[in-house]
Amino acid sequence: MPERIVETVQVKHLRILDKKGNADPALAPPLSDEELKRMYEILVLSRTFDQRALNLQREGRLGTYPSFLGQEASQVGSAFAAEKSDWLFPTFRESGVYVAMGCPLHLLFQYWGGDERGMRMPDNLNVFPLSIPVGTQITHAVGVAMAIKYRKDRAAALAYFGDGGSSRGDFHEGLNMAGVFKLPVVFLCQNNQWAISMPRDRQTAAQTIAQKAWAYGFEGIQVDGNDVFAVYKATRDALMKAKGGGGPTLIECFTYRVADHTTSDDASRYRTKEELEIWKARDPILRLRMFMEKKSLWSDAYQKDVETRSKAVVDEAQKKAEAIALPDPRDMFTYTYNGLSQRQSRQLKDF
Amino acid sequence: MATMNTVQALNLALQEEMERDKDVIVLGEDVGKDGGVFRVTEGLYDRFGAERVVDTPLAETGIVGAAIGMAAYGLKPVVEIQFMGFIYSAIDQIFSHAARIRARSRGKYGCSLVIRAPYGGGVKALEHHSESTEALFCHMPGVKVVVPSSPRIAKGLLISAIRDPDPVLFLEPTRLYRLVKEDVPEIDYTVPLGKARIVQEGKDVTVIAWGSMLQRTMKSIEGMNVELIDLMTLSPFDEETVLQSVKKTGRVVIVHEAPSMCGLGAELSATIAEHAMLHLKAPILRVTAYDVVLPLPKLEDYYLPNTARIRKAIETVMQY
């Protein structure tokens, strides 16, 4: 018997906005002028926050901080597609997701300043506390999707991770389970080309990360991660599909970590300046700005206004975070268990 | 009241809790149609359906990770890990997340999760099927560790574990699954977590044990004036009951089937030394497995603490 083809995989790459800010009219998401401006303003706000966090770290006022510079479109575009009822699972490099979901910014400064209370998200915000062990949050999103399906709620889970995370067993076990149970979950991989010093080709020999989805029985798509429209559209479509019972999707946002891994890292040790410059020129915020300029939604005066407002918001958040009194040291006993153990009570008594 | 073994008692606990609370979901490998490798979940699939008794892919990290998500959403997942020896790939999820999500979110999310696992030796099993590594988990703040020692206790403890708002590792002594039968009330009763149980009162020596070693110790102390404590919750354990007993007897023997190095006996000894040293008449002795790789069945009986070793330790402390 001759061999026969039992499965073929075709991986698509989606780009809507080109580098000059021209949008493909057939694919451009139907966003109103107001929504476009809101998207742009969140992009600028997220970068303003990020740059301030870096500055504060250098001044010793924040601890180690992982910048998401260059990944704003991937983070803001995807979060912009989520509804309040959806559950988001960010990693440590997703400050842009928190900003876009409306997390009060002083909480982020508080958290990165070393105060756990900053990860207490407001009750109406279904954004999980960020996960530091790489890839481990993927299965939590899967579990939430199982619970959503069990309760028949109209919502979906959205798991963030990176190219490094895609190498881990958690990725495999999470995506595998999501496929088996056809769960309402979207896996959003920001392939930013670097996991600290390890380039993407040290994570997988596969041509794309998106294609791994087919091994789990669902579809993947690669999008230009510096194109906020492509990220938004792919995420929105995937979330709609998930909520309609169509199961999971893997989205690979092809982007770049312009910043060092964290403030403790020096990326010049392992990557070239030339590569960095190429990606800096692909600035995702600039691309939307060029698009808006063509639609007369952007001007120098508008830019100045957006920057001034962003700076004011970030100033205010920083001021608020820095004014928060130190937590009561006894606070560390409060949340380990629902109540105090005998030993904790004794330790607290002697504290 | 019905006479039943531990498997039946645990099954009854699951049935009652699933009947009482729609948020209770059972998930794991072969827990559905097959009823679990030890049949603890037998009949649940037929009674509650595939949505609540979920047969999962073979993926311990994935199962526990997913259960953490389910718990955050407000469900009460009861995970079965087929043997304690297979739980290690899920330790990252247990330590890094289940134990910390309450603290990390400052109480916004809890982790009301039970992880059941057959535990311990004495059943002539394959490699990795007789593990007793409870101390690993006792070391981690945020996790509770519970071990039942009889059918009646098992049912009451499992119900408490399911209702508990924190993650509970529920270790079921494989050896006791069908060894002991006991009258088990079919009414709603619980055995509280965090409390030890004085199995028998005595004056001369306090013996602390749990799980299948509790049963073995009971058989070893005939004719001796021993106060026997079933610790039941290993972490956080009931220091008050332990210290009160030690202050009365002045002598302590701790029996566990894990190796001695950093076993829970070490923590119990240190706690007793810190808080009741001046009441002691003799050194604290531990009867444990040897500090060797757990042998296959041919040598298992030489590895596990036996009646002779337990009696000898008690006789030794009685000489002081």
Per-residue pLDDT tens over the stretch B110-140 = 999 999 999 999 889 999 999 999 999 999 9
Say what the pLDDT of residue B122 is: 87
Q: Does B273 touch chain A (CB under 8 A)?
A: no
User: What is the rounded CA–CA span in Å between residue B100 and residue B93?
Assistant: 10
Closest CB from B25, B106, B142 relative to A117: B106
Is pLDDT above 90 for A1? no
pLDDT at B187: 83
Q: Give the sign of the dihedral formed by CA A110, CA A111, CA A116, CA A121.
A: positive
pLDDT at A116: 94
Residue B66 with chain A: CB contacts under 8 Å:
139-140, 142-143, 146, 174, 177
Query: What mean pLDDT value characterizes chain A?
Result: 97
Q: Among this protein's residues, is B129 annotated catalytic?
A: yes
- Would you state the pLDDT for residue B152? 97
- What per-residue confidence (pLDDT) applies to B77? 98
A91 touches chain B (CB under 8 A): no
Give yes or no for residue B142 having a pLDDT over 90.
yes
- Asked if the C-beta of B40 comes within 8 angstroms of chain A's C-beta atoms, the answer is no
Q: What is the residue-wise DSSP string for B187-203?
A: S-----TT--EEEE--S
Please classify residue A78 by burial: count the beta carbons closer than 10 Å to its beta carbon, then call 0-12 exposed, 13-18 middle and 19+ buried.
buried
Listed in sequence order, the residues at least 6 apart from A302 whose beta carbon sits closer than 8 Å to its beta carbon are none
The 10 Å Cβ neighbour count of residue B54 is 24
ipTM over 0.85: yes
Distance in Å, alpha carbon of A41 to nearest chain B alpha carbon? 28
| DSSP secondary structure letter of residue B111 | -
pLDDT digits (tens, 9 = 90+) for A330-349: 999 999 999 999 999 999 99
Q: Does residue A103 contact residue A82 with C-beta atoms inside 8 Å? A: no
In one letter, which amino acid is B220?
A: S
Instruction: Please state, in angstroms and rounded to a whole number, the distance separating the CA atoms of residues B289 and A193.
Output: 50
- Encoded tokens for B64: 């526990």
Residue B1 has pLDDT above 90, yes or no: no
CA–CA min distance A153, chain B (Å)? 11
pLDDT tops 90 at residue A69:
yes
pLDDT cut 90: percent of chain B above it? 98
| Residue B306 Cα, gap to closest chain A Cα (Å) | 32
Global pTM exceeds 0.90: yes
pLDDT in tens, B271-300: 999 999 999 999 999 999 999 999 999 999
Segment A243-248 shows an average pLDDT of: 98
Mean pLDDT of A302-328: 97
Q: Tokens for A61?
A: 């006022």
- Per-residue model confidence (pLDDT) at position B257: 97
With a cut of 90, say whether residue B188 has pLDDT above it: no
Q: Compute the count of residue pairs across chains A and B with CB atoms less than 8 Å apart.
A: 136
pLDDT at B186 exceeding the cut of 90: no
| DSSP-H helix ranges across B164-263 | 212-220, 239-249
Name which of B54, B69, B92 is nearest A140 (Cβ-Cβ). Answer: B69
Residue in chain B closest to A216 (alpha carbons) equals B57
Q: Do A169 and B89 touch (CB under 8 A)?
A: yes
Verify whether the Cβ–Cβ distance B75 to A150 is below 8 Å: yes
What are the tokens at B278?
């001046």
Percent of chain A residues topping a pLDDT of 70 = 100
Distance CA B191, CA B157 (A): 5
- For residue B123, the distance in angstroms to the closest alpha carbon of chain A comes to 31
| CA Rg value for chain A | 21
Mean pLDDT computed over B32-48:
97
The Cα A140–Cα A161 span in angstroms is 12
Residue A247 has pLDDT above 90, yes or no: yes
Per-residue pLDDT, A211: 98
Please tell me what DSSP assigns to residue B113: -
**Cβ pair A157, A190 in contact under 8 A:** no
CB contact under 8 A, B69 and A141: yes
Q: What is the pLDDT of residue B222?
A: 93
Strands laid side by side in the A87-89 sheet: A13-14, A219-224, A249-254, A185-191, A157-162, A87-89
What are the residues facing B229 on neighbouring strands?
A: B198, B208
Structural domains in chain B?
2-184 (3.40.50.970), 197-318 (3.40.50.920)
Q: Shortest CB distance from A335 goes to which of B73, B74, B107? A: B107
Tokens of A12: 């698509």
Q: How far is CA A40 from CA A20, A76, A109, A127, B202, in A?
A: 16, 9, 22, 21, 75
Banded pLDDT at A70 (limits 50, 70, 90): very high
- Measured CA to CA, the distance from residue B105 to residue B107 in angstroms comes to 5
Q: What is the pLDDT, as a whole number, of residue A304?
A: 98
Using one digit for the tens of pLDDT, what is the confidence trace for B222-235? Answer: 999 999 999 999 99
Quick check: is A257 catalytic?
yes
Question: How confident is the model over B208-219, as pLDDT tens digits?
Answer: 999 999 999 999
**Contact criterion met (CB < 8 Å) for A140 and B96:** no
Q: Which of B97, B108, B239 sits opposite A342 (nearest CB)?
A: B239
CB contacts of B51 in chain A (<8 Å) are 150
CATH 3.40.1410.10 holds for A13-349: no
Which of A177, A338, A342 lies at the smallest CB-CB distance from B57? Answer: A177
**Minimal C-alpha gap between A138 and chain B (Å):** 8
Assign A56 a pLDDT band (cuts: 50, 70, 90).
Answer: very high
Residue B102 contacts A where some CB pair is shorter than 8 Å: yes
